Amino acid sequence: MSTDRINSLRNGPDENGRFGLFGGRFVAETLMPLILDLERAYRDAKQDPEFEAEITDLAAHYTGRPSPLYFARRLTEHLGGAKVWFKREELNHTGSHKINNCLGQILLAKRMGKTRVIAETGAGQHGVATATVCAKFDIPCVVFMGATDVERQWPNVLRMKMLGAEVRAVSAGAGTLKDAMNEALRDWVTNVDNTYYLIGTAAGPHPYPEMVRDFQSVIGTELREQFLETEGKLPDAVVACVGGGSNAIGTFHAFLDDPEVAIYGAEAGGHGLETENGHAASMNGGRPGVLHGNRTYLLQNEDGQILEGHSISAGLDYPGVGPEHSFLHDSKRVTYAPITDEEAIAAFQLCTRMEGIIPALESAHGLAQVMKLAPEMSADQSIVLCMSGRGDKDVESVGRYLGMDLDS
């Protein structure tokens, strides 16, 4: 790893929460004292060996870390290029990488003496992970979820309810992740005294992008060690899907200062970038703006009104992206490419049939990117995908998309 700290890409954010132009604290005054408190509490916890020890212990015994590094033999043979590996975050407790962040933040919420937790969710993976840690730590939990997403991800809605969470369907806008986040912010501004807002992605006002990244960085740190141990070198490329971008930043961060490792993020290309309002690729199809507490690439019209966007994957169906990704996009360290609904579905099917692993539709976007890259690489090279979540929640909507007979 580079020892040149001044030119390191891993130094962000600055004291104002900026990653270059991006990030910041664009929130209403009512919330400002709260996020300053949160920042102080987080700095304090980071210094505390007990906090770290508790996270490590829970990661091992509750989440099941480290997650395995898996060589996808049949996919490798099929694609006929680089060796394809999966970092198996879908094997974590609750079925995705989201638990890494939720455990960190729930411990922080407890340290801060908060007695109520709220969260937003798209695919429901973060909602389930939040409901899970709230059950474990006995804290009441309200999850905001777009009405459209409640419908297309109902297995996760049931899981949240069984875990004791209250799920509030948000019918404003297109009823997706953006609207859920608006409603969560409205709740937070109303219940400032007792409520902890457990944001699920590496976005929102500072310190959330930094904090969520730190809690997710275990993915890349483990992966780096595992790969060095297995192959005696670093991988040639790492790939992850990017909605808000928490699994991606968690995967990428350990490799940012390793120039020999190419890094790719797969954005939701929906029906294709040429279809107006038909995708959720904020970096490839948007421009910088301010929403949900931070400056970042956003899908917006000429008047600065935020567009709804579209993706078959509820977890990627968000018109923005975490600010650190915007920074890495502008600095060209990471290549972000759009993957269409159709490409993601094809990758979903291929992975299921060839590896016996049903990927989340979100992760299938990353896999589609791997399918484009691996054949162009040589057999002595390696490419690693962060398999961020499992696809049990998606089998019904994929079946419907493919016109499979669901009744017989």
Partner 1 sequence: MSRLPERFSACAKQNRPALVTFVMAGDPDPETGFDILSALPAAGADIIELGMPFSDPMADGPAIQQAGRRALNAGQTLSKTLQAVERFRQQDADTPIVLMGYYNPIYAFGVDKFLSDAKSAGVDGLIVVDLPPEEDAELCIPAIKAGINFIRLTTPTTDDRRLPAVLENTSGFVYYVSMTGITGGAIRSREAVGGAVQRIKRHTELPVAVGFGIKTAEDAAIIGRDADGVVVGSVLCTAVAESLKDGKGGAQSVEAVRAVVSELAEGVRQARR
**Residue numbers annotated as active site:** 98, 120, 388
Contact between residue 318 and residue 176 where contact means Cβ atoms under 8 Å apart: yes
Q: What are phi and psi of 259, to 5 degrees?
A: -60, -20
Beta-ladder partners of 270? 340
Distance in Å, CB of 162 to partner 1, minimum:
30
Contact between residue 227 and residue 69 where contact means Cβ atoms under 8 Å apart: yes
Q: Which tokens sit at 378?
A: 């040589």
Q: What is the identity of the amino acid at 318?
A: Y
Distance in Å, CB of 176 to partner 1, minimum:
12
- 26 vs 51 by CB, closer to partner 1: 26
- 27 vs 134 by CB, closer to partner 1: 27
- 104 vs 320 by CB, closer to partner 1: 320
State which H helix or E strand residue 269 sits in: strand 262-270
State which H helix or E strand residue 282 sits in: helix 282-285
- 269 vs 293 by CB, closer to partner 1: 293
Whole-number Å distance between alpha carbons of 218 and 128: 20
Distance in Å, CB of 301 to partner 1, minimum:
8
Question: In the complex, which residues of this chain contact partner 1 (CB under 8 A)?
Answer: 16, 24-34, 172-173, 178, 182, 185-186, 189-193, 289-293, 298, 300, 302-306
Distance in Å, CB of 233 to partner 1, minimum:
44
Q: Give the three-class secondary structure for 163.
A: coil
- Spell out where 105-180 has E strands: 116-121, 141-146, 166-170
Contact between residue 309 and residue 280 where contact means Cβ atoms under 8 Å apart: yes
- 229 vs 302 by CB, closer to partner 1: 302
Contact between residue 92 and residue 100 where contact means Cβ atoms under 8 Å apart: yes
Beta-ladder partners of 239? 264, 385
Q: What are phi and psi of 3, to 5 degrees?
A: -100, 0
State which H helix or E strand residue 260 sits in: none
Distance in Å, CB of 205 to partner 1, minimum:
9
- 291 vs 334 by CB, closer to partner 1: 291
Distance in Å, CB of 303 to partner 1, minimum:
4
